[in-house]
Amino acid sequence: MPMVDPEIESAPWESQAQSDAPLYLQQIEYLFERSRFYRGKLERAGFATHGAVGGLEAIAALPLTEKDELRASRSAEEPIGAQLTAKREEIARIYSTSGTTGTPSFIPLTPGDLEVWVRTSARSYAASGIVRGERLVSTYNAGPFVAGAALGAFDRLGLCHIPVGSGNTERLMTAIELLKPTVAVLTPSYALHLAEWARERGKDLASSSVKRVLVAGEPGGGEPAMRAKLEAGWGASVTEAMGIGDISVSLWGECEQKQGMHFSGRGFVHVELVDPETGAARPIVDGAEGELVLTHLVNRSAPLLRFRTRDHVRLNVGRCACGRTSPRVRCIGRTDDMLIVRGVNVFPSAVREVVNEFQPAVGGVIVIRPRAKGVRQEPPLPVGVEVAPGADVEGLEERIRGRLREKLLVTTEIELLPAGSLPRSEYKSKLVEKA
């Protein structure tokens, strides 16, 4: 699939800030005019007028926006929150987030905002290499959720969309068998579950019509071992996409080079990288790690300024062989899922990635079972690991424990579990059980 906006997606990244700067100034003026939330927030931080805020080069001096702040501004009279800037008659659609990290948020969109979301998502999915006329089967029950905007991107790209949804694996497999789509869109957890489901029933999923599997909704699709397992099970190329409901759906999308997900929101969203503990700015350079912070540049319904995504990422910068020039990210995990074990930050998805180095002996599914409530844990951290059917497990616990200690600096207690004993999810997997 050619780029959706080649003149934008292939433009030098070094000039992006210059392009964003006038849009940012207009957005700040709009916030002071229409956003009670940001007018008060910026005034309390010492910025009494939009002119006092300065240009884009000074954005790091502004306060960060926390999701809990937005939640706290909601009320029965203002269910969307005090950040709402559009009038009732200006709003074309209201989505909600999935609520996987708390109470769902309502996301309003003007017609222009909705167009931006669809265009961004189209850029993201086009990067995977899908081409006009292909048949795509999707498993998201996305109607009320922000992922619903991604469905519009499939139409924009000229695909034949087969929406099956989750909850009925038999129906999905029948659709694949009879309608012969070449693309499947689902979470990595569900993709893994379907590969296991097919194998257990003697079905050769790898010989199906599906040649591309596009995964999103949670970290995992970019983990080398997980990707390899999915590609073997499906006999297809696996790429991933990532969005953040409060900002835009499918804001990052991976191309066929598989070197991370390209930023797809150029001209619509400004990207920063910060230290997840201090909030201090970090440079966007090759190999940098930190938390993504995003700012709307053209949103007119409920713009967010320096919004903390809680996505902890590693950057890959420079021109890609696909021609796109925007930074690429690999999501290491979410800072709100992180555990601290005697001073060491531990991301559950990072634990899974290390464990999956022991394939084919392990099945790819893990669970962390903290002994105490809260983020801080004492070692050893209990980790349950599913083993593959018939695997040789002699010494496996010790080898996994040693590798986790070597790579993540965390002491663990490994429990090997029978294949299929941990719950599977048709949406987002839960890697940590509540204590």
Question: Is residue 274 very low, low, confident or very high in pLDDT (cuts 50, 70, 90)?
Answer: very high
**pLDDT tens digit string along 107-155?**
999 999 999 999 999 999 999 999 999 999 998 766 656 777 788 899 9
The per-residue pLDDT for 203 is 93
CA angle at 364 for the pair 358 and 368, rounded to the nearest 5°: 100
**CA separation (Å) from 17 to 12, 13, 20, 271, 422?**
10, 8, 5, 10, 46
How far, in Å, CA of 418 to CA of 388, rounded? 8
Residue 100 scores a pLDDT above 70: no
The per-residue pLDDT for 344 is 87
Which two structure tokens, joined as six digits, stand for 402? 């040693």
The per-residue pLDDT for 93 is 92
Q: State phi, psi for 413 to the nearest 5 degrees.
A: -120, 110
Q: Which helix (H) or strand (E) holds 106?
A: strand 106-109
**pLDDT tens digit string along 206-254?**
999 999 999 988 888 888 989 999 999 999 999 999 998 899 989 999 9
DSSP string, 309-330: EEEEEEEE-S--TTS--S-EEE
The per-residue pLDDT for 362 is 92
The per-residue pLDDT for 375 is 84
> What is the model's pTM?
0.86
Amino acid at 201: R
**CA separation (Å) from 387 to 187, 209, 361, 422?**
22, 29, 6, 11
Average pLDDT over the chain, rounded to an integer: 91
The per-residue pLDDT for 96 is 82
Helical H segments across 65-187, by residue range: 67-72, 111-126, 148-156, 169-179
Residues 6+ apart with CB under 8 A from 381: 339, 341, 346, 368, 370, 410, 411, 412, 413
Q: Which of 330, 350, 365 has its CA nearest to residue 189?
A: 365
Question: Is residue 182 very low, low, confident or very high in pLDDT (cuts 50, 70, 90)?
Answer: very high
Which of 139-143, 264-268, 368-372, 384-388 is the least confident region?
139-143
